[in-house]
Every structure is written in C-alpha cells, then in structure tokens.
Structure 1
Amino acid sequence: MRRWNGWGDDTITYPLPASAARFLEQLIGPGTPPQDVRLEEAAAAVPPSRLPVHPLVLDSPIERIFHARGQSLPDWITLRCGDIHPLPDGVAYPSTESEVRELIGYAAAVGAGLIPYGGGTSVVGHINPLPGDAPVLTVDMSRLSGLKRFDDISHLATFGAGITGPDLEAQLRARGFTLGHFPQSFELSTLGGWIATRSSGQQSLGYGRIEKLFAGGKLESPAGSLELPAFPASAAGPDLREVVLGSEGRLGILTEATVRVTPLPESENFHAVFFPGFEQGLSAARQIVQARLPLSMLRLSTPTETETTLALAGHEYLIGLLERLLALRGVKDNKCMLLLGFAGRDAVIKTSRKEALNIADNCGGIRAGRTLGSRWHKNRFRTPYLRNTLWEMGYAIDTLETATGWDNIPAMIEAIESALRSALENEQVHVFTHLSHLYPYGSSLYTTYLFRLASNPDRRKVASETLRRWQTLKMAASQAIVAQGGTISHQHGIGTDHLPYLPAEKGKLGMAALAGLCKQFDPIGIMNPGKLV
C-alpha cells in the first residue's frame, strides 16, 4: 500500500548501514527521531466536506488525506505533524473523457477549484489545495490509464494520461518498444504529470526530455476541448503542444497523450569513471556531450557528493578496496565520479563507449568498470526511500535544481552550496551536487541538502521550527539561483514553491502572456488556482 505520509510502498524500506549513520552524525550532529501522528488521528481531525453530493465524488477523510499533499519536504512536515489544512473537499476518479467534462462542469456550477492529480509526486506544491472559501475537488486520473492506440510503423503510442511509468513501460516492452523516460519518481508518477511539468528522465540524453517525446493528445478545459494532432513536424503557426507542456493543470486536464517511442535497445550498460578533481571531470563531461556521442546518460558528482555516495553505500570492504586502488592512481580526497550510460545496438555502443572513455582518459579519468554503474542503475528508483529512513532518524533531506551554461556551472554550484551551508544559525547543513542532465550548451545542477529536524516534545513545535529551517534554506538557494542567472526549475516545475521567482525569468510581458493563456482556457478561474501564475 502507498505510504500516506512518505515516499512509496509501505512494505519497502531503505536500511542505512551503521557506518553511514556515523558519517551523518559526524557531519551534522545526532538526530532526534520525531513522534509522527498516526493516520487515524489525522483522519479524526478532517473537517466536513463543503462540496454538494455528486455520484463521482468521494469525500471520506482517508481519500482526502491521501490526495492532500505531494512529496515536498513541507508536505511531509504537514502530514507527519497531522495539521493537514486545507484539504480537498472531495476526490473523483473519472474513467472516461465524458466524466472529466462532467466534473469540470460540476466544479464550475458549485464554484469549486479543481486540481488534476496524477501520481502525487510533486515536490513544489502542484497538487496542494490553497486556503480560501471555495471548496476544492481533486480529480485523480488513475482510471484513465490504458493503451488506446499503438502504431509500430510510425513508432507512436497513445495512452490515457493517468498511466504510471511502470505500466506504460510494461505495455510498450511487450511490443518491443520503450519510451525511455525514467525520472526518479518513475514508479509512481504519470504520463500526464510528466507533460504538465515538463519532466526530465534520467536517460534523457539518449531518449529526450518529455517535450521531445510528447507528440499530441487531448486537453479538456472549462472553455472546451483541445485536440493536438501527432504530426512529425509542422509549420502551421505556434506549436500548441508547447502551451500544454508545463501548464501544471492551469489550462485543463490532459486526458490522452500520444508519445514517440523507440525500439528496445539490443543492450544497455553503465560505467563509472573517477577523476582526481571536479575540474577534470567537468571538462570530460562537457567534451563527451559536445562530441554528440550516442550515450543515454551522463551524471557527474562533485567531490562532496562522491564522498557521500560512497559513505552511504555500505559495503565497507569493497568501498575501501576501491578507495585504495584509486589512491594508487593518484585519485584521493577530491575525487569525483562520472557515470556514463549506453543503450542501443551493440556495434554503436562499442564505438561510442570507446570514444567517451578515451575522452575521459585524456582528462585524467580512471576507469572503474561497470560494477558501480550497474549498482546505481539497479537502485535508482529505490533511493527516494532513503528519505523515509532519514526522517525516522531525525534528519530532513531535500533537493533543488537549476540549469545554466557550461561557463557558469562552477560559479552556480558555489553560489547555491554556500547559500545553503550558511543559511541556518547554530545548525550544520550538509550539501552536495551533481550534474544530472547534460546538453552541448550547458547542464542541469541537482543539489541535495540534509539538516536535522527540530527537537521538541511538542509535535507541532517540531513541525513549525523544521518548516522555518526549510523555508530559510529554500529561499537562500532560490535567490542564489536567480542572482546567478539560472532557471528556477529545470525539471520540477513551478507549483507554489517557485512561484515568487518565476517573474525574474519570464519578465512582465511573459507573465502577462501566461495569465492570458489561463484566462483563455479557464475564463472562470477554477483550474488549479494559485499555481504557476
């Protein structure tokens, strides 16, 4: 069963080795395990629904709690302290497009806000009801999730937008194809959510971001239906797919999506290379991606992230052996790790792997083979479960991301990490970064930061102080990103958390254009109000 106040399936855990626990305690101090509220207690505090009765709308406290928040750290704080307000007043599970239109009409008639809900994995507040007098209806798209059409000649597949990553891939792999879109939230997130937030998958270097994969679909809005034909290309005016991409539920509900799929690769493998310092690793990564080699993934960790990754991995004997072997080759304290992914035909992989590893060799890289890369690939969707483990130990962990040009990457990393390390008085913050999505012109930067939960016998005081710490950290890092000229979001979207910083990126006219689009599709303002604009 899905956890109601944390990540993933409640039968899956991510145990932390004792050596890793000692590592964290040395960095930021001992954690104090919190006293989380039980689901029954939270349900008892749910107020009555403000929505009139409708046959498609459920209003039980449990349904409303399960759809009340996403997966951001503030969401976790709210859920685990039990002070979950506001909540949606009802949850609907449409199974047809006509039921989606019926629910939009119902929301308009009763003056309710309407929040589209995919997998509930947003980390920036996309699906959260906002305070106000109007009732809120959350529309869960999980029943609109089937494969509708498959074209193995044009390599196009059409799905209900509520399909999750594993179900989508299972349908395609049975036919010898893949979408190749693997965000870290893959196991829970949905195709419609990927499109609505302009998602990036871990292997987007090879398969492309969701805007490349999204070919067309259907959007149901208060103003009517929008159909987007799946042309291979078109010069017929502005591309309306781009209007839907990143719209975050403000324009309507995406009910159907056609995506461009790829035949399954003959083989796939991942390699690790270590560099004596970040400068050498950065140079190698840039040269490899600018060579336009057909890789599926590049991921470069800073020295601090490399150290943290190895420390949290456990397997002390094997990691110790690796450290000694690298030290013999002159790669010691400031080492950084580059992961390279290859997917496709065997002959192509052989050639591109040789070229990429030769570039790494010329930049001082030491090849470490496939073991670490394969282990990362095996556990890549298990890593988010570490958040549950750390919380129960008294630690909070959160991430943020941006993207910038190659010339600005070192300064951007320094600005973000310095802002986070110095943001809290009397508390240590552990910060580390990797480059996760690389382009010939620049890269995304993905920063993780850990700090201690507040310690207090009063659960609400723990929540209040921990939330204050997060707000201080998030603001410091966001301001650093804007000041340094990066995008406020490369892959997480805007929601509510990034809303204050969007005008700096879009400008006054750009924000007016976005508001105009919302008004055109949603003239009465019921679609996911308060998000994006």
Structure 2
Amino acid sequence: MRRWNGWGEEGVVFPLSEKARVLLQEQLGPGTLPREATLEEVLSRVPPSRLPPHPLVSPDPEERLRHARGQSLPDWIFLRSGQIPAFPDGVAFPTTNEEVRALLAYAREVGARVIPYGGGTSVAGQVSVLPGEAPVLSLDLRRMNRLLRLDEKSLLATFEAGVQGPDLEAQLRAWGFTLGHFPQSFPYSTLGGWVATRSVGQESLRYGRIEDLFAGGRLEAPAGTLLLPSFPASAAGPDLKQAALGSEGRLGVLTEATVRIRPLPKAEAFAAVFFREFGEGLEAVRRMAQEEVPLSLVRLSTPEETAVNLALAGQSRGLALLEAWLALRGAGPGRALLLLGASGTRARVSQALGEALGIARAHGGVYAGQAPGRFWAHHRFRQPYLRNTLWEMGYAVDTLETAGTWNQVPRLLLAVEAVLREALGEEGERVYAFSHLSRVYPTGANLYTTYLFRLHRDPGTNLARWRKLKAAASQAIVAHGGTISHQHGVGTDHLPYLEAEKGPWGLEALRALCRALDPWGLMNPGKLV
C-alpha cells in the first residue's frame, strides 16, 4: 500500500550509505525529527463532507485524506504534522467519459469545485485542496487506464488518461512498442498528468517531451466535450492541443490521449565521463546538443552533486580505485560527472556513444566505463524514497528547476545556488544545494537543483523556511531570465511568478480560455492562473 504521508510503498526503504550520512552532517549538522501525526489522529480531524450523496462519490475520510495533497515539500509538512488546511469533500473514481460528464454536471448543480487527480505526484501544488466556502470533489482517473486503440502503421496509441506509467509501458510492450516517457515519478504518475503539466522524461532527448508525444485526445469540459484530432500536421489555425498541454485541470478533465509511439529499442547503453571542472563538461554537452548527437540521456552534475552521487554509492574497493584513478588523470575534488545514454539499434547506440565520447575527450573528459550509468539507471525510480529516509533523519529535501539559453545557464546556476545557501543565514541555519543539467537543447539547457535543510520541531517554522527558500530561488530565476518551470508546472507554487513570463495580456488570454470552457469556474481554481 502507498504511504499516505510520504513517497511510494510502505515497505520500501532506500537506505543512506554511511559515507552520505557523514557528508550530510558535515554540511548541515545533526538533524531533528519533528513529531509526526498518526493516521488515526489525522483521520479524526477530517470534517464531515459538505457534498450531498451521489452514487459515484465516496465521502470516506481516508480516501479524502489521501487526495488532499500532492508530493511537494509543503504537502509533506502538512501531512506529516497532521495540520492539513483543507480536505476534498468527496472522491470519485469514474470509469467512462459518460461518468466524468455526469460528475461535472453534479458539481455544477451542487456548486462544487473539481480537482482532476492522477497519480498524486505533483510537486507544485496542482492537486492540493485549498480552503474555501465551496465543497471540493476530487476526480481520481486511475480506473480509466485502458489502451483503446493501437495504430501500428501510423505509430499512434490512444489510452484513457488515467493510465499510470508502468501500465502504459506494459500494454505497449505486449505489442512491441514504447512511449519512452520516464519522469522520476514514472511508477505512479499518469498519462493525463504528464500532459496537464508538460512533463519531461529522463530520456526525452531521444523520445521527446510530452508535447512532442501528445498527438490528440478528448477533454471533458464543463461547457462540453473538446475533441483534439490526431493529424500528422495542420495549418488550420492555432493548435488547441497546445491549450490542453500544461492546463493543469483548469479547462476540464482530459479523459483520453493519443500518443506517438516507437518500436522497442534493440539495445540500450550508458556511459560515464568525469571532467576536471564543470565548465569543461558544460562546453562538451553544448556541443553534443548543437551537433545533434543521437543520445537519449545527457546528465551533467556540478562538483557538489558529483560528490553526493559518489557518497550515495557507498564505500567499496572499486569506488576507491576509481577515485584514485580519476585523481591521477587530473579529475580531483572539483570533478563533474556526466552520464550519457543511448538507445535504438545496436549500430545507433554505438555511433551515438562514440560521437559523444569523442566530444567529451576533446574537452578533457575522462571515460569511466558503464558501471556508474548502470547504477543510476537501476536506482533512478528508487531515489525518491530517499526523501522518506532523509525526513526520518531530520532533514527536509526539495527540488526546483528552470531552463535558459546557453549564455544564461552559468549565471542561473550560480545565482540560484547562492541565494539558497544564504537564505536561512539569519536563523543560523545552513542549506546544502547542488545541481545538474538533465535536458539539453541546441539553444540551451535545463537546470535542476536539489536543496536540503534541517527540520525544526515546529511545522510552521519548516513551512516558513521553505517559503523563504522558494521565494529567493524563484526571484533569482526570474531576474536572470530563466523560465519559472521547465518540467514541474505552475500549480500554486509558481503562480506568483507566471506574469513575469507570460505578461499581463498573456495571463488574460489564459483566463479567457478558462472562462470559455469552464464558464462556472468549477475546475481547479487557484492553480495556474
């Protein structure tokens, strides 16, 4: 069973190596675990439902608790402390388009607000229930998980939008295909959630971002049904698929999605390269992107994150030999780790890695074999479990991300990490921040930053610290020309900064679109715009 107040399955633990524990204490000092509310305590605080009975709506307190928040750090603070501001008044599990339409009609009739819910993995507040006078209905789509149509000739597959990552890939694999979309939330997140937040997969360099994969679908809006045909291309005015992408449940409920698929790759391989310093690696991956080397993965870590990755790997004779060998080759404490991946035919994989390693060597890179890449690939969907481990040690961990042009990336990196490290200085607290690039483009790259700080016994203090850190980093991103989100979406956390990117008339255009499809303001209010 999934945890109600953390990540993943209850029985799964990702332990921290002793080397990583020592590193963490050196950076932040000993952690303190706040008191945690029990499930029974929190359930006793769930208020009576304000919704009238409906055969498709459950008022069960535990279902309402499990649909109250997502997976952001504020969500965790509320859940772990039991101080949850609001709960949905009911949860529905529709299985057809007709049931979705019936539930939207019911919500309009009783004056309820509707939050579409997929895997519950959002990290920017998209599924969080906000306090308000109107009752809230959570619409959980995970029972709408079937493969409806497969066009093998056109390489198109139509799914119900509630299908989760592993089920989607299993249904395609049975026919010899893959979508190739693997965000870190892959075990739980849904196809509809990917579309609604403009998700990016870890191997999107080969397979594309979700907007490259989304070919069409069906949106059930309060005003009616919006069908999005799957043309190979069209010049018939603005593309309404782009409106559904990133809409975060504000326009309606995405119930079906047609996606572009590929045959399963014949081969897949990973490689690791160490650079003496981050700047060399940055120039190497820029060249790889601009020369369009056909890779599936490019992940360049800063020296700080490289040290964390090596610490997480633990202590072994093989690792000690690797570090000694790297030091001899000039890759000392300031080294930066680059992971490369390629998939496709065996010839394509060999060509891609050969080209990439040639560029890396030209920029001073030291090839370190395939073992580090295989280690990352094996653990990539287990790493979020570290959030549970760190919390139980008394540390909060959060991530943020942006993207900028190649001339902006170095300044963005320095600015974001600097403001994070300084933000809690007046409280006498340190922040440990480190970053990587995990998606490169010919014109720029994304920047993904992880930061940790010590938990306080008071949940209000933890929330205030997070707000201070989030505001400092977001303001730095905007000031240095980055996007407020490359892959996590807007939700509530990034909403204050959206006007800097879209402008006032851009926001008004989005609001007008929401009014056109949702004239009664039922859909996920307080998110996106």
Superposition TM-score tier, normalisation by shorter sequence? over 0.9
Q: Report SS of the residue matched to 1:407.
A: coil
**Structure 1 outlier segments of 4+, above 2 Å:** 315-319
Distance in 2 (alpha carbons) for counterparts of 1:319 and 1:514:
52
State the AA in 2 paired with 1:427. Answer: E
Equivalent-residue separation in structure 1 for 2:306 and 2:429 (angstroms): 23
Question: In structure 2, how many angstroms separate the alpha carbons of the residues matched to 1:508 and 1:319?
Answer: 53
SS at match of 2:407: helix
Of residues 460, 467, 484, the one that matches 1:464 is 460
CA apart distance, 1:515? 0.4
Query: Aligned equivalents of 1:518 and 1:13: distance in 2?
Result: 42
Matches for 1:192-231 after TM superposition, within 5 Å? 192-231=192-231
Question: Does residue 105 of structure 1 match 2:105?
Answer: yes
Structure 1 counterpart of 2:148: 148
Paired positions, count: 527
Write the letter of the residue equivalent to 1:261. Answer: I
From 477, 481, 485, the equivalent of 1:481 is 477
Taking the aligned partners of 2:9 and 2:375, their CA distance within structure 1 comes to 21
Is residue 2:502 matched to residue 1:529?
no
**Where in structure 1 are there 5+ consecutive unaligned residues?**
456-461
Deviation at 1:420, TM superposition (A): 0.2
The aligned counterpart of 2:506 is 510
Tell me the SS of whatever aligns to 1:403: strand
Aligned to 1:459: none
1:4-56 deviation line (CA, Å, top 9, x unaligned): 00001111100112221111001100001222111111001111000001010
For 2:365 and 2:204, the matched residues in 1 are separated by: 24
Contact 2:19 2:315 (C-alpha < 8 Å) held by counterparts: no
1:124 aligns with 2:124: yes
Distance 2:402 2:305 in 1: 17
SS at match of 2:68: coil
8 Å contact kept, 2:274–2:368: yes
Deviations 1:140-199 (A, max 9, x none): 001111000111111111100000000000001111110000000000000000000000
Deviation at 1:59, TM superposition (A): 0.6
- Indicate whether 1:410 and 2:406 are aligned: no
Deviation of 1:131 after TM superposition, in Å, equals 1.2
TM-aligned CA deviation for residue 315 of structure 1: 3.1
Residue 215 of structure 1: SS of its match in structure 2? Answer: strand
Hey, what does 2:164 align to over in structure 1?
Answer: 164
Deviates more, 1:310-319 or 1:155-164: 310-319
Deviation track 1:403-451 (CA, whole Å, cap 9, x = no partner) reads 0000111110000000100000200100000001110110000000000
AA in 1 matched with 2:96: T
Q: Distance in 2 between matches of 1:481 and 1:167?
A: 36
1:453 aligned partner? 455
Give distance in 2, aligned partners of 1:430 and 1:439: 28
Deviations 1:228-257 (A, max 9, x none): 111111111111100100000000000000
Look up the SS of the partner of 1:104 in the other structure. helix
Q: Give the whole-Å Cα distance in 2 for the aligned partners of 1:174 and 1:321.
A: 42
Whole-Å Cα distance in 2 between the matches of residues 134 and 273 of structure 1?
55
| Cα RMSD (Å) | 0.7
Q: Secondary structure at the match of 2:2?
A: coil
Q: Distance in 2 between matches of 1:510 and 1:221?
A: 21
Where does residue 458 of structure 1 map in the other structure? none
Aligned residue number for residue 71 of structure 1: 71
Alignment of 1:324-339 (within 5 A): 324-339=324-339
Which residue identity does 2:172 align to in structure 1?
L
Matches of 1:530 and 1:325, distance apart in 2:
54
Give the Cα separation in 1 of the matches to 2:77 and 2:316: 33
- Matched residue type, 2:85: H
Extract unaligned runs of 5+ from structure 2: none
Q: Please give the alpha-carbon distance, in whole angstroms, between the structure 2 residues aligned to 1:517 and 1:55.
A: 32
Query: Any idea what the Cα deviations from partners look like across 1:295-319, whole Å, max 9, x if unmatched?
Result: 1110100111101111122134332
SS for the counterpart of 1:148 is strand
> CA contact under 8 A between 2:33 and 2:456: conserved in structure 1?
no
Q: Which amino acid aligns with 1:314?
A: G
Equivalent residue letter for 2:312: L
Residue from 427, 432, 441 that aligns with 1:439: 441
Write the letter of the residue equivalent to 2:333: D
Q: Which moved more, 1:178-187 or 1:303-312?
A: 303-312
Q: Give 1:498's aligned residue.
A: 494
What is aligned with 1:382? 382
So what's the TM-score if we normalise by structure 2?
Answer: 0.99
Contact 2:166 2:186 in 1 (8 A): yes
SS in 1 for 2:289: helix
Mapped partners of 1:355, 1:6: distance in 2: 42
